[in-house]
Amino acid sequence: MTTSVYVRKARIQDVRPIHALLMDCSKQGLLLPRSFSQLYSHLRDFFVLAQDGGGVLGCCALSITWEDLAEVRSLAIVSEMRSRGWGRRLVEACLSEAVTLGIFRVFTLTYQTHFFEHLGFEVVSKDNLPQKVWADCLHCPKFPDCDEIAMSITLRPDCS
Protein backbone atom coordinates (compact mmCIF):
# COMPACT_ATOMS: atom_id res chain seq x y z
CA MET A 1 0.00 0.00 0.00
CA THR A 2 1.37 3.47 -0.85
CA THR A 3 1.21 6.24 1.72
CA SER A 4 -0.19 9.51 0.43
CA VAL A 5 1.64 12.77 1.04
CA TYR A 6 -0.03 16.16 0.71
CA VAL A 7 0.15 19.85 1.67
CA ARG A 8 -2.35 21.13 4.25
CA LYS A 9 -2.66 23.84 6.89
CA ALA A 10 -0.88 22.98 10.13
CA ARG A 11 -2.68 21.69 13.21
CA ILE A 12 -1.75 21.92 16.86
CA GLN A 13 -0.47 18.30 16.81
CA ASP A 14 2.09 19.35 14.18
CA VAL A 15 3.93 21.78 16.46
CA ARG A 16 6.35 19.26 17.96
CA PRO A 17 7.35 17.72 14.62
CA ILE A 18 7.68 21.21 13.06
CA HIS A 19 9.89 22.24 15.97
CA ALA A 20 12.06 19.12 15.55
CA LEU A 21 12.41 19.67 11.79
CA LEU A 22 13.37 23.34 12.18
CA MET A 23 15.83 22.48 14.97
CA ASP A 24 17.43 19.85 12.78
CA CYS A 25 17.89 22.31 9.88
CA SER A 26 19.07 25.08 12.21
CA LYS A 27 21.83 22.83 13.58
CA GLN A 28 23.07 22.61 9.99
CA GLY A 29 22.97 26.43 9.76
CA LEU A 30 20.25 26.31 7.09
CA LEU A 31 17.62 28.36 8.87
CA LEU A 32 16.72 29.86 12.22
CA PRO A 33 15.06 27.74 14.91
CA ARG A 34 11.65 28.76 16.30
CA SER A 35 10.64 28.33 19.92
CA PHE A 36 7.54 26.37 20.94
CA SER A 37 6.05 29.66 22.06
CA GLN A 38 6.59 31.23 18.61
CA LEU A 39 5.20 28.14 16.89
CA TYR A 40 2.04 28.06 18.99
CA SER A 41 1.48 31.80 18.46
CA HIS A 42 2.09 31.60 14.72
CA LEU A 43 0.67 28.15 13.96
CA ARG A 44 -1.96 29.63 11.63
CA ASP A 45 0.89 30.87 9.41
CA PHE A 46 2.05 27.33 8.69
CA PHE A 47 1.46 24.81 5.95
CA VAL A 48 2.85 21.30 6.38
CA LEU A 49 3.74 18.46 4.10
CA ALA A 50 1.81 15.69 5.82
CA GLN A 51 1.53 11.98 5.30
CA ASP A 52 -1.43 9.70 5.98
CA GLY A 53 -1.34 8.30 9.46
CA GLY A 54 0.48 11.31 10.90
CA GLY A 55 3.97 12.67 10.51
CA VAL A 56 5.25 15.96 9.19
CA LEU A 57 7.67 15.80 6.26
CA GLY A 58 7.99 19.53 5.65
CA CYS A 59 6.75 22.96 6.65
CA CYS A 60 6.59 26.56 5.47
CA ALA A 61 5.01 29.69 6.92
CA LEU A 62 3.52 32.87 5.49
CA SER A 63 3.91 35.68 8.00
CA ILE A 64 2.13 39.00 7.39
CA THR A 65 4.54 41.91 7.78
CA TRP A 66 2.51 44.94 6.75
CA GLU A 67 -0.53 45.92 4.68
CA ASP A 68 1.17 45.11 1.40
CA LEU A 69 3.90 42.68 2.40
CA ALA A 70 4.29 39.14 3.77
CA GLU A 71 7.25 36.84 4.38
CA VAL A 72 7.83 33.21 3.50
CA ARG A 73 9.80 31.69 6.36
CA SER A 74 10.63 28.46 8.17
CA LEU A 75 10.74 26.43 4.96
CA ALA A 76 12.11 22.92 5.40
CA ILE A 77 11.62 19.48 3.86
CA VAL A 78 12.98 16.31 5.50
CA SER A 79 16.08 15.22 3.63
CA GLU A 80 14.53 11.99 2.22
CA MET A 81 11.75 14.01 0.51
CA ARG A 82 13.85 16.78 -1.06
CA SER A 83 14.10 17.37 -4.82
CA ARG A 84 10.61 15.98 -5.49
CA GLY A 85 8.81 19.28 -5.89
CA TRP A 86 7.44 19.50 -2.33
CA GLY A 87 9.41 22.63 -1.39
CA ARG A 88 7.91 24.35 -4.42
CA ARG A 89 4.42 23.14 -3.46
CA LEU A 90 4.76 24.50 0.07
CA VAL A 91 5.98 27.92 -1.12
CA GLU A 92 3.21 28.03 -3.75
CA ALA A 93 0.63 27.30 -1.03
CA CYS A 94 1.96 30.31 0.90
CA LEU A 95 1.93 32.54 -2.22
CA SER A 96 -1.61 31.47 -3.00
CA GLU A 97 -2.66 32.32 0.54
CA ALA A 98 -1.00 35.75 0.19
CA VAL A 99 -3.08 36.47 -2.91
CA THR A 100 -6.24 35.28 -1.13
CA LEU A 101 -5.42 37.74 1.65
CA GLY A 102 -4.91 40.55 -0.90
CA ILE A 103 -1.15 40.74 -0.39
CA PHE A 104 0.81 40.84 -3.64
CA ARG A 105 4.41 41.24 -2.51
CA VAL A 106 6.16 38.45 -0.64
CA PHE A 107 9.77 38.37 0.48
CA THR A 108 12.08 35.86 2.09
CA LEU A 109 15.47 35.95 3.80
CA THR A 110 17.36 32.91 2.65
CA TYR A 111 20.57 31.11 1.69
CA GLN A 112 18.65 29.12 -0.98
CA THR A 113 18.74 31.78 -3.69
CA HIS A 114 18.70 29.32 -6.62
CA PHE A 115 15.65 27.51 -5.27
CA PHE A 116 13.73 30.78 -4.82
CA GLU A 117 14.87 32.10 -8.24
CA HIS A 118 13.27 28.97 -9.73
CA LEU A 119 10.02 30.06 -8.11
CA GLY A 120 10.20 33.59 -9.55
CA PHE A 121 11.77 35.45 -6.62
CA GLU A 122 14.47 38.06 -7.31
CA VAL A 123 17.28 39.26 -5.09
CA VAL A 124 16.49 42.69 -3.60
CA SER A 125 18.38 45.08 -1.39
CA LYS A 126 17.56 44.65 2.28
CA ASP A 127 17.16 48.44 2.35
CA ASN A 128 13.97 48.00 0.30
CA LEU A 129 12.28 46.09 3.11
CA PRO A 130 10.43 48.06 5.78
CA GLN A 131 11.82 48.66 9.24
CA LYS A 132 9.20 46.30 10.70
CA VAL A 133 11.02 43.32 9.13
CA TRP A 134 13.99 43.88 11.39
CA ALA A 135 11.98 43.73 14.63
CA ASP A 136 12.32 39.92 14.70
CA CYS A 137 15.99 40.18 13.85
CA LEU A 138 16.73 41.75 17.22
CA HIS A 139 16.16 38.27 18.72
CA CYS A 140 18.29 36.48 16.15
CA PRO A 141 21.68 35.11 17.22
CA LYS A 142 23.16 36.54 14.00
CA PHE A 143 22.02 40.11 14.68
CA PRO A 144 23.40 42.52 13.43
CA ASP A 145 25.61 40.50 11.03
CA CYS A 146 22.88 38.89 8.95
CA ASP A 147 24.26 37.01 5.94
CA GLU A 148 20.90 35.87 4.57
CA ILE A 149 19.91 37.17 1.15
CA ALA A 150 16.67 39.16 0.75
CA MET A 151 14.50 38.04 -2.19
CA SER A 152 11.02 39.08 -3.22
CA ILE A 153 8.27 38.29 -5.68
CA THR A 154 5.36 40.39 -6.92
CA LEU A 155 2.19 38.35 -7.42
CA ARG A 156 -0.75 38.84 -9.74
CA PRO A 157 -4.26 39.00 -8.29
CA ASP A 158 -5.37 36.06 -10.51
CA CYS A 159 -2.66 33.56 -9.48
CA SER A 160 -4.21 32.12 -6.29
Which of the residues 18 through 77 are near ligand COA (CB under 6 A)? Answer: 25, 30-31, 75-77
Nearer to ligand COA, 78 or 103 (CB): 78
Task: Count residues near ligand COA (CB under 6 A).
Answer: 19
Residues in region 117-136 near ligand COA by CB under 6 A: 118
3-state secondary structure of 38: helix
What's at 115, amino acid-wise? F
Report the residue number, 1 or 86, with the smaller CB distance to ligand COA.
86
H or E stretch at 73: strand 69-77
Does residue 115 touch ligand COA according to CB under 6 A?
Answer: yes
- CA distance linking residue 128 with residue 53, whole number of Å: 44
When CB distances to ligand COA are compared, the closest residue is 87
Alpha helix ranges (H) inside the chain: 15-27, 36-41, 86-101, 113-118, 134-137
**Position 88 contacts ligand COA (CB under 6 A):** yes
Q: What is the pairing mode between strands 149-154 and 122-123?
A: antiparallel
Q: Which residues bind ligand COA (CB under 6 A)?
A: 25, 30-31, 75-77, 82-88, 108, 110, 112, 114-115, 118
